[in-house]
């Protein structure tokens, strides 16, 4: 056999390896995710190339990943029957850093001598992360389509250099053999590298990070050996992951039960979701989204700091469930999965925030969620509209935040608004702005609303009297967020939104109002009697009011308080006072 050749690592790899081997213990687990993901990539590549050349499968088309431990030898082996590596490829791919993510990581570190372990954990460093736990890594591989004599063994202790030699290898694909480091005596129990020799720990990690890899990940079945009184490995393999990345399958292959079951698994919520959307998006950015609208609000809905409900995967490998940049805050109730084909596996929090791909994903996902809601809200089917009403009752107040947060979708959000009104039968928020506008009286220019703590309080306000008398509809806005929202929602369909509790209301242009005579009377200048009365009120109230005037808006009540045109409403003043401002 040919002698082994020694190669020096590229300078950047040396630097990276130095960081990896000298970094702290935190989040070392991710090395397994990285190696499994490489194995999965290798199978994907083979599957893709075999489309043109079926002989590459060599009669073995059942692609899978196997993980084996040898406690005596202290080795952990990750095997795949994917595309494999030629000798040249091993030198090239395992001796240099090609991927942009890792480069970026190196740049971010700059001259920092002491790397931040958390940073390494966040990025992941691909193949080289194996050196976090291994004192030596041996890779044995044969590229699909090459002869058995053209196998390769690559080996390194993760310092300055690696060796490669040609070997004979019957199997196509790759074994990555980690020779695990010995733990120092003072290593805390939970940080011991030994744990990666324990089958149940590995199963646990696979479940956590790689369950949705769509290939089977197998480990040897164990059986109890009474003599040794411990579990020992058998020759049989069993599948550890569910290998069912539901979202990667096409919609037509997925049953409703499967969607529901997946939701349950994802959320741990026993209530079925209200609605879901599943799409594969191609184009500028390539990704798959499977997004659910729950039927019930979670306990922490009002905590704007809570983790986003959408999990990010990159090519079926779980990355994070804490990516707020994937969904705007006002859609924090949405649950589901986004699987990107473009992002690097080792994407960091910072990169997520800056990435153009992520921005495209977010915009696309917002549009999907909004159209899901529009479909419900505008459905011909009463049952669907009832679902929207149920949605609004749970999440309407959250969606309203969007009017202030998401200017590009303000119009769509405004159409989704629902409120109770003086024209609705009960206090349920069921009137849309479009309903309101359609019912506006001839000559009516503004959309009138009143804010109050409850619909009941709103309805009993003296400020409403003239509107009720004239049959003009007023929206009753009773969510805490409404005052804030109204700061952003000034108009709808070209009609200004106007508070009935603010400034002077002029209803004189509105046709069809009864009591013309009354109005004419009110239009006169205050009589001398009235003038005297106003003076007395002013004296009695002093500084507490800005102005006292004769009003046209009262019908039954003798007096009411209104806010100045530019002042804050009484309701907002109360809210702020409650909040201690």
| Residues at the interface with ligand ADP (CB under 6 A) | 34, 38-39, 41-42, 80, 82-85, 93-94, 99, 126-127, 174, 345
Nearest-angstrom CA–CA distance, 376 and 388: 5
Q: At what angle do helices 11-22 and 100-109 cross, to 10 degrees?
A: 70
286 vs 375, beta carbon nearer ligand ADP: 286
Task: Select 82 or 429, whichever has its Cβ closest to ligand ADP.
Answer: 82
How many residues in the shown chain lie near Mg ion by CB under 5 A? 2
Residue 311: helix, strand or coil by DSSP? strand
Of 126 and 294, the one with the shorter C-beta distance to ligand ADP is 126
Quick note: the x/- pattern for Mg ion over 85-124, rule CB under 5 A, is ----------------------------------------
- The conformational region for residue 268 under phi > 0 = left, psi -120 to 50 = alpha, else beta, is left
Was 488 annotated as part of a binding site? no
For ligand ADP, give the closer residue by CB, 98 or 232.
Answer: 98
Query: To the nearest whole angstrom, how small is the minimum distance from the Cβ of residue 175 to Mg ion?
Result: 16
339 binds, among ligand ADP, Mg ion, none (CB under 5 to 8 A by kind): none
Is the Cβ–Cβ distance between 319 and 361 less than 8 Å?
A: no
Name beta bridge partners: 471. Answer: none
Residue 224 contacts residue 207 (beta carbons within 8 Å): no
Window 13-52: contact mask with Mg ion (x via CB under 5 A): -------------------------x--------------
Alpha-carbon dihedral sign for residues 323, 329, 333, 334: negative
82 binding partner (options Mg ion, ligand ADP, none; Cβ < 5 to 8 Å by kind): ligand ADP
Closest distance of CB 78 from Mg ion, Å: 12
Give the separation between CA 490 and CA 495, rounded to whole angstroms: 8
CA distance 199 to 203: 6
| Residue 93 CB contacts under 8 Å (≥ 6 apart), including other chains | 85
Contact 224, 50 (CB under 8 A): no
Is 349 annotated in a binding site? The answer is yes
Whether 102 has a binding-site annotation, put simply, is no
Residue nearest to ligand ADP (CB): 126
145 binds, among ligand ADP, Mg ion, none (CB under 5 to 8 A by kind): none
Nearest to 422 by CA among 481, 362, 467: 467
Cβ proximity of 417 and 398 under 8 Å = no
State how far the Cα of 144 lies from the Cα of 411, in Å rounded to an integer.
55
Among Mg ion, ligand ADP, none, what does residue 402 contact (CB within 5–8 Å per kind)? none
Question: Least separation, in Å, of the C-beta of 309 and Mg ion?
Answer: 27
407 annotated as ligand-binding: no
Tell the smallest beta-carbon distance from residue 108 to ligand ADP (Å): 17
Gap between the Cα atoms of 39 and 67, Å rounded: 11
470 annotated to a ligand binding site: no
Check whether 295 is labelled as a binding-site residue: no
Q: Is 368 annotated as a binding residue?
A: no
Which residues of 168-267 form beta strands (DSSP E)? 173-180, 217-225, 230-239
First to last CA, the chain: 82
126 binds Mg ion (CB under 5 A): yes
Flag whether 99 is marked binding. Answer: yes
Smallest gap, in angstroms, from Cβ of residue 126 to Mg ion?
4
Nearer to ligand ADP by C-beta: 85 or 215? 85
Residue whose CB is less far from ligand ADP, 99 or 385: 99
What whole-number distance in Å separates Cα of residue 530 and Cα of residue 550?
8
Q: How far is the CB of 34 from Mg ion (least distance, A)?
A: 5
Q: Is 79 labelled a binding residue?
A: no
The answer to whether 346 is a known ligand-binding residue is: no
Non-local (6+) Cβ contacts of 394 within 8 A are 294, 295, 296, 297, 333
Rounded to whole angstroms, the Cα distance separating 193 from 187 reads: 9
Residue 110, annotated ligand binder?
A: no
CB nearer to ligand ADP: give 82 or 462.
Answer: 82
Min dist. Cβ of residue 99 to ligand ADP (A) = 4
Which of 162/292 has CB closer to Mg ion?
162
CB burial of 391-413 (b: ≥16 within 10 Å; e: otherwise) equals bbebbbbbbbbbbbebeebbebb
Nearest to 289 by CA among 257, 334, 232, 235: 334
Name which of ligand ADP, Mg ion, none residue 39 binds, using a CB cut-off of 5 to 8 Å depending on partner kind. Answer: ligand ADP
Q: Which two tokens stand for residue 535?
A: 């003076």
Q: How far is the CB of 120 from ligand ADP (least distance, A)?
A: 13
* 58: partner contacted, choices Mg ion, ligand ADP, none (Cβ within 5-8 A by kind): none
Identity of the residue, 94 or 361, whose beta carbon is nearer to ligand ADP in the bound complex: 94
Please tell me the distance from the alpha carbon of residue 120 to that of residue 109, in angstroms, as a whole number.
10
Judged by CB, which is closer to ligand ADP: 77, or 248? 77
Residue 325 annotated as binding site: no
Sequence ranges of the binding site for ATP? 34, 38, 80, 99-101, 122-127, 174, 349
Sequence ranges of the binding site? 34, 38, 80, 99-101, 122-127, 174, 349
């Amino acid at each position: 056999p040919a002698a082994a050749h020694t190669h020096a690592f590229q300078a950047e790899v040396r630097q990276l390896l130095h960081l990896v081997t000298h970094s702290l213990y935190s989040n070392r687990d991710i090395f397994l995710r990285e190696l499994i993901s490489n194995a999965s990539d290798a199978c994907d590549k083979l599957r893709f190339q075999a489309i043109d050349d079926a002989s590459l499968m060599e009669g073995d088309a059942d692609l899978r990943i196997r993980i084996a431990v040898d406690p005596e030898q202290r080795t952990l082996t990750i095997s795949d029957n994917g595309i494999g590596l030629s000798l040249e490829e091993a030198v090239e791919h395992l001796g240099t850093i090609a991927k942009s993510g890792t480069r970026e990581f190196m740049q971010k570190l700059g001259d920092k001598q002491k790397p931040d372990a958390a940073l390494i954990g966040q990025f992941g460093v691909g193949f080289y992360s194996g050196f976090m736990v291994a004192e030596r890594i041996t890779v044995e591989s044969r590229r699909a389509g090459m002869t058995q004599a053209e196998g390769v063994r690559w080996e390194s202790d993760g310092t300055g250099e690696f060796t490669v030699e040609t070997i004979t290898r019957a199997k196509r694909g790759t074994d990555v053999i980690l020779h695990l480091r010995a733990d120092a005596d003072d290593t805390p129990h939970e940080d011991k590298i030994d744990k990666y020799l324990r089958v149940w720990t590995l199963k646990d990690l696979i479940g956590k990070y790689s369950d949705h890899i769509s290939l089977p990940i197998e480990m040897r079945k164990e059986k109890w050996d009474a003599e040794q009184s411990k579990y020992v490995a058998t020759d049989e393999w069993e599948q550890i992951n569910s290998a069912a990345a539901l979202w990667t399958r096409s919609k037509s292959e997925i049953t409703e039960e499967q969607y529901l079951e997946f939701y349950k698994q994802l959320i741990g919520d026993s209530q079925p979701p209200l609605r879901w959307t599943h799409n594969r998006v191609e184009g500028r950015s390539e990704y798959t989204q499977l997004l659910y609208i729950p039927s019930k609000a979670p306990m922490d809905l009002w905590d704007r700091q809570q983790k986003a409900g959408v999990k990010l995967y990159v090519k079926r490998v779980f990355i994070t469930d804490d990516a707020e940049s994937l969904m705007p805050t006002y859609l924090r109730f949405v649950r589901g999965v986004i699987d990107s084909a473009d992002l690097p596996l080792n994407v960091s929090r910072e990169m997520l925030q800056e990435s153009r791909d992520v921005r495209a994903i977010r915009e696309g996902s917002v549009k999907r969620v909004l159209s899901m809601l529009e479909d419900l809200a505008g459905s011909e089917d009463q049952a669907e509209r009832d679902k929207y009403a149920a949605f609004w009752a749970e999440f309407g107040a959250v969606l309203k935040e969007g009017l202030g947060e998401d200017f590009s979708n303000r119009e769509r959000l405004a159409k989704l608004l629902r409120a109770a009104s003086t024209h609705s039968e009960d206090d349920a928020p069921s009137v849309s702005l479009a309903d309101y506008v359609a019912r506006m009286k001839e000559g009516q220019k503004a959309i009138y609303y009143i804010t109050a703590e409850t619909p009941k309080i709103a309805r009993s306000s003296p400020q409403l009297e003239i509107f009720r008398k004239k049959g003009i509809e007023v929206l009753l806005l009773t969510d805490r967020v409404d005052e804030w929202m109204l700061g952003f929602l000034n108009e709808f369909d070209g009609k200004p939104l106007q508070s009935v509790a603010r400034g002077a209301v002029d209803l004189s242009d509105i046709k069809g109002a009864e009591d013309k005579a009354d109005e004419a009377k009110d239009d006169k200048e205050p009589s001398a009697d009235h003038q005297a009365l106003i003076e007395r009120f002013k004296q009695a109230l002093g500084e507490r009011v800005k102005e006292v005037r004769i009003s046209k808006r009262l019908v039954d009540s003798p007096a009411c308080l209104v806010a100045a045109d530019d002042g804050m409403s009484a309701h907002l003043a109360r809210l702020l006072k409650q909040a201690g401002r």
